[in-house]
Structure 1
Amino acid sequence: MDKREKVLNKLNELEIKYKLIDHPPVYTIDAMDELNLSEHGHIVKNLFLKNSNGKKHYLVVLKGDKKADLKSIKSQINSTSLSFASEERLEKYLGLLKGAVTPLGIINDEDHCVCIVLDKDLKNEEFIGIHPNVNTATVFISYNDLLKFINTFGNKIFYVNI
């Protein structure tokens, strides 16, 4: 079973309604914007970060049109300084490749060690667009269903102002 199928099967198992849209591979939020998918929901930006000693990892999910202030996030989650984690760490902890970063990647985090950091403004969006662990498709689900998915795996969630 491939990465995408694994996610879609889990969404179906959890009875989470979604809309799936296939598209060419994308690697940036700008490339996502060029696909004009915003009529289906708000496309999010995902950042995979680590703390200063590399022992804690965070997946920050924010509205696609925002810029993340890592110092502000650091203080809101009571962490040491934050920086971008390597592609090797991304693959090790979430089983994802660059360009396919998504909160749905926690399906591969067997130790539940990656903390999810959600932009508080996302709760105001009816639907959000995220990759199903590959960057050749986007699924649109409700914010509450994203929380349901995350809570199924038991990863810690932080809510922050970005």
Structure 2
Amino acid sequence: MRILIVSDTHKAHGNLERALEKEGPLDMLIHLGDVEGKADYIEAVAGCPVHMVSGNNDFFSDLPWEEEFFIGDHHVFITHGHGYFVGMNEDRLKAEARGRGADIVMYGHTHMPALTVEPDLITLNPGSISYPRQKGRKPSYILMEVDQDGKVSCEIRYLG
């Protein structure tokens, strides 16, 4: 299974379209918020099932703040992250994920990619595919692959 994970598109979808073309075909798209009213468009261009949550800039959105679902045997918890103060650190988010029994937690908000693999929890942030803030400011996303045995691998990827 191939899963594209993005966040913080903020109505600018050129790089999302590029990533979809580059990484396709995909089995799932996960968007971690700040779609700014463009959820229908994102679902239309994805070409696969989509999980999407609202972010701090998704005013009047019907998208959920958080979502839990399974990818195979993996319990996934997704949120934009601002409610867990991820701009300071991941501690509250990780505690919440563990409290929910998740073994994968995903968030956005910071516009900076991050990936931490611990024995009981994978924590990831794809950064922003539209407005990156990390050093070098390259648009980023994460490609997650789950093999036939359920083993998860994640890679932060960048658009040139």
Question: Common fold, TM-score beyond 0.5?
Answer: no
Q: Please state which structure has a larger fraction of its residues in helix.
A: 1
User: Between Structure 1 and Structure 2, which shows a larger proportion of strand residues?
Assistant: 2
Give TM-score scaled by structure 2 length: 0.31
